[in-house]
Structure 1
Amino acid sequence: MPFVIGVETVTPRGTWHSERTDAWHLPKDGFEAFLDLEKLPGDLVVRSRRDKDRFYPLGAPGEKKLGDVLTDKKIAKERRDIPLLCSGNQVYFACGLTISEHAKVTPGTQKILHIICNRGTMD
């Protein structure tokens, strides 16, 4: 499903709210994210995971298959169908987990995307 900033995105696994902002704070949980908008491609979608998805979790030493990240975090197999913000096979935000190192906000960030993913049926 295409992701459009400022438009509510409704999925079976949750509702996404997004807005551009100038300020950010530490997210209260893994269901909130602040991303550097200028580091994101224009063809973002919200979807479920796929076998070839790649993810570089914030603070991790490098990129891995998303399935390996979920295994490392001991997420049960029946709970791994989490909503993702992606472009192609590249994951930028895994709702309920964290953002990608590729899209993190830095001191040089000028345009920030704020996302809140309501849990929906994830619990």
Structure 2
Amino acid sequence: MAPLEIDETSLAASPIERRNSLEKHLLTRPDRQDLKERHILLDTDVAPSLQAARQELARQRATDTLKKQLEHRPEREQLVERNILPATNAAPALQANARELEKHMLADNLDHKIQKRPQPEDLISQGILNEEEDPRKLSV
């Protein structure tokens, strides 16, 4: 779209000059589809006197639909049960840090339990494992 030009044709100019100026501007004016895309004209087949009412009805319908969807929205507890929302009450800015801390605490707990597990020879002497089930022999 070309930038808008200001018609500086003098009113005292001859009628032919004014007509040529008008024709020139009519040739460069935007078409109807361009005006609809730029939301200058409404894209509707409704009479202009009814366009405002139609727009208001469309806005009201969207509002009603949104209200109805919000009424049927599941509660926070249901979303937590379905693992959609985290069970934490931390602020959203802190939730990533809380998850990271929880992951590290779980890893530390697992390391601690692995360090305290009994040795294979203790399990064999207690009759929990057979000699054939000794993990040290299986990995070799």
TM-score scaled to structure 2, two decimals? 0.15
TM-score scaled to structure 1, two decimals? 0.16
- Could you say which structure has the higher strand fraction? 1
- Could you say which structure has the higher helix fraction? 2
Max Rg structure: 2
> Bigger relative contact order, structure 1 or 2, given CA contacts below 8 A and separation 6+?
1
